[in-house]
A and B are shown apart, each in its own frame.
Chain A
Amino acid sequence: GENVGLHLPTLSVQEGDNSIINCAYSNSASDYFIWYKQESGKGPQFIIDIRSNMDKRQGQRVTVLLNKTVKHLSLQIAATQPGDSAVYFCAENTPARQLTFGSGTQLTVLP
Chain B
Amino acid sequence: EAGVAQSPRYKIIEKRQSVAFWCNPISGHATLYWYQQILGQGPKLLIQFQNNGVVDDSQLPKDRFSAERLKGVDSTLKIQPAKLEDSAVYLCASSEDTGANTGELFFGEGSRLTVL
A residues near B, CB below 8 A? 4, 31-32, 34, 41-46, 49, 51, 89, 91, 93, 96-104
Asked if B91 is an interface residue, CB under 8 A from chain A, the answer is yes
Contact B107 A104 (CB under 8 A): no
- Cβ B91 vs Cβ A44 within 8 A: yes
Judge whether A44 and B107 touch: CB under 8 Å.
yes
Chain B 44-56 interface mask (CB, 8 Å, partner A; 1/0): 1100100000011
Most buried by B among A45, A91, A98: A98
For the complex, would chain A's binding face be called helix, strand, loop or mixed by DSSP majority? Answer: strand
- Given known pairs A42-B109, A43-B109, A43-B110, the reply for A93 and B43 (CB within 8 Å) is no
The contact size tier of chain B is 20 to 34
What is the CB-to-nearest-CB distance from A43 to chain B, in angstroms, rounded to a whole number? 3
B113 within 8 A of A: no
**Residue contact A99 to B91, C-beta cutoff 8 Å:** no
The answer on a CB contact under 8 Å between A97 and B45 is no
Question: What are 20 A-B contacts defined by CB distance under 8 Å?
Answer: A34-B104, A42-B110, A43-B107, A43-B108, A44-B43, A46-B104, A91-B42, A93-B101, A93-B102, A96-B56, A97-B55, A97-B56, A97-B99, A98-B48, A98-B56, A99-B33, A99-B101, A103-B41, A104-B41, A104-B42
